Structures are given as structure tokens and as C-alpha cells.
Amino acid sequence: MHKKILVICLVTILLAVALVPTGFAASDKQVVITYGETTYNSQQYKSIVDNYFAGKTNYDISSVESKVITAGDVNEISSGFSGKTYNSNQIFSSALLDLDQNGEITVEVDNSINTITPKMYMSALKSAGIQGGHVYVTSPVSATGESALAGIMDCYEEATDVEIPDNVKEAASQEISTQAEIINNSNVSADDLSNLVDDVKEKVSEENITDHDAIVTIINDYSTNYNINISDSDIENLADTIEQVQLAQDDANAYKEQISDFVNSSASDSGFSLDSLFNSLFDIFNQHS
């Protein structure tokens, strides 16, 4: 009888340890923050961002591995295809990646990000071969969120020790930049544009299309289906973007396989599951019943 009571107490204690997450510290490299350099260099701005991440994740933010994303980092990816360059006082967007939350990739975007939507981030990250993890994006001031993608991709590299190929980074960044430009140039809603881009990318991928004119035709067809009116120049730019995404898919798929191996091995290395816990405890209970 005493042994049964002891086992029940042990179950209660272990479940309490396993299931109560409040105030826990982030596990090594499974959670990474990237700060925009403008935000990081301002104690007030950094505090706003840290409080947002802490409220969303319940992590001790001071224990989370972090890195500063500079204008140079963003420009290295973006300036080659868009001609857009950023100054060191323009990099506000910050991101937190939580790889402890496995499953389909999810993105939460603070309302301070006024252009790029969660769906746009997810679409661009999937173009880069990234399929899992939970991403939070915020800024201490109103920002488009374009520069945050460089930080998010850097988070994945820091967390997994696997570099994203440059052409894959460029294609994903171009996708974000092109969509932001189309939104600024037209009356199309962000959600409608995201749906159009996703459908076009899916068709192009399924049929392995890299011909520019063929992609333009597909964009026009879907624009008609969605009753979206965008300029010919925006359609040309979007076709260029989707062409680059498709050309980078072999490298993106190779990267995706490496990330999948990392996530799976990390999960198995942890050695913990509630099923195994209960099985072990019931074995003990049965032995002493």
C-alpha cells in the first residue's frame, strides 16, 4: 500500500515538472532572437521588443541566444535584386524563432508591422525550404517588416547550424520585397495578393515552369480569377520573382532535408515523452502492486 502511494506521489511530482512551463529558460539554441540594429542600439526600443517576446512566449528573454541584424546584413541579400538599400537607422524589425514548437510553421506578426503579413512570411519561408517552427515578428515603431525576413532566416541558421544557400535567401527576400512593392503600387489587399502568389507558385512548382512568359500568363490567369488588377510592370516583376524562387527550389529542397534531419534528431535526443513516462511509471506500479 505504501509503495502504491509512493508511486502515485512520484507521478504527481513528475507531471508537475513536465507540464508547468511558467518562467522557463529557453533550451540551447532551440530559441533564437534577432534584433534589428536600430532597435538593439536603443534601450527603450529593445525593452519594448523584449517585453513583447516575453509576453508571447513566457521565456526568460535574457537567457535566449540573440544576434543583431545590421543594415549591411539586409543589404547583402536585398540590394542585388531590388536596388533597395537600408541605413543603420532603418532596421527596426526583430524576430524570435522557437523550434521547440514543432509542427507546421506558424508566424505571429505584431500590429507594428504594417505591410508584410504572417502569410507572406510563411510563403517566403516555405520557398526557402523552411517548414516548421514558430516565429514572432515585432518592431518598436511602425515598420514594413521587409527587413525582418533576413533576421528570421538568420534565426534558423543560428538554431540549426545549417546555412541557407545564398540563392535561396535572395529568392525568398525578393518574394517579400516584390509583394510589398505591389501592395504600395496598387489597391490589392495583402491577403488577396498572398493567395495569388501561393497559387502561382504551386502551379509553377508542380509543372516545373521557369519560362518567364509562361509565368506571366499564369499570373494573368489567376489575377482574373481573383479579380485583382495590378500593373503590367508589377506582373513582370512578380514573374521574375517566382522564376527565381523556382530556379532555387533544388537548393531549397536540399536545405529542407537538412533542417528536417535536425528537427527530428533534436526531438529524439531529448529522450522525453509523456507516453514513455507513463509506461515506465505503470511498469513500476505493476511490479509493486
pLDDT in tens, the chain (289 residues): 544 443 443 333 333 333 334 343 444 568 999 999 999 999 999 999 999 999 999 899 999 999 999 999 888 876 555 557 888 888 999 999 998 766 789 999 999 999 999 999 999 999 999 988 999 999 999 998 888 999 999 999 998 889 999 999 999 999 999 999 999 889 899 999 999 999 999 999 999 999 999 999 999 999 998 899 999 999 999 999 999 999 999 999 999 888 876 655 544 444 333 343 334 434 433 444 4
Instruction: State the Cα–Cα distance between residues 143 and 49, nearest whole angstrom.
Output: 13
In this structure, what C-alpha cell is assigned to residue 159?
A: 538554431
Quote the pLDDT of residue 16.
36
- Number of helices and strands in the chain (H, E): 12, 5
* pLDDT for the residue 251: 95
**Considering the entire predicted model, what is its pTM?**
0.79
d(CA 193, CA 191): 5
pLDDT at 88: 87
The reported pLDDT for the residue numbered 78 is: 67
d(CA 79, CA 97) in angstroms, rounded, equals: 25
Q: Which H or E run includes 161?
A: none
User: Could you tell me the end-to-end alpha-carbon distance of the chain, in angstroms, rounded to an integer?
Assistant: 8
- The CA angle 187-184-121, to the nearest 5 degrees, is 100
pLDDT at 135: 96
- The grid coordinates of residue 110 equal 505584431
Long-range contacts of 109-113 (CB under 8 A, 24+ apart): 109/136, 109/137, 109/138, 109/145, 110/52, 110/136, 110/137, 110/138, 110/139, 112/138, 112/139, 112/140, 112/141, 112/142, 112/143, 113/137, 113/138, 113/139, 113/143, 113/144, 113/145, 113/148
Q: pLDDT at position 42, please?
A: 97
Question: What is the rounded distance in angstroms from the CA atom of residue 170 to the CA atom of residue 121?
Answer: 14
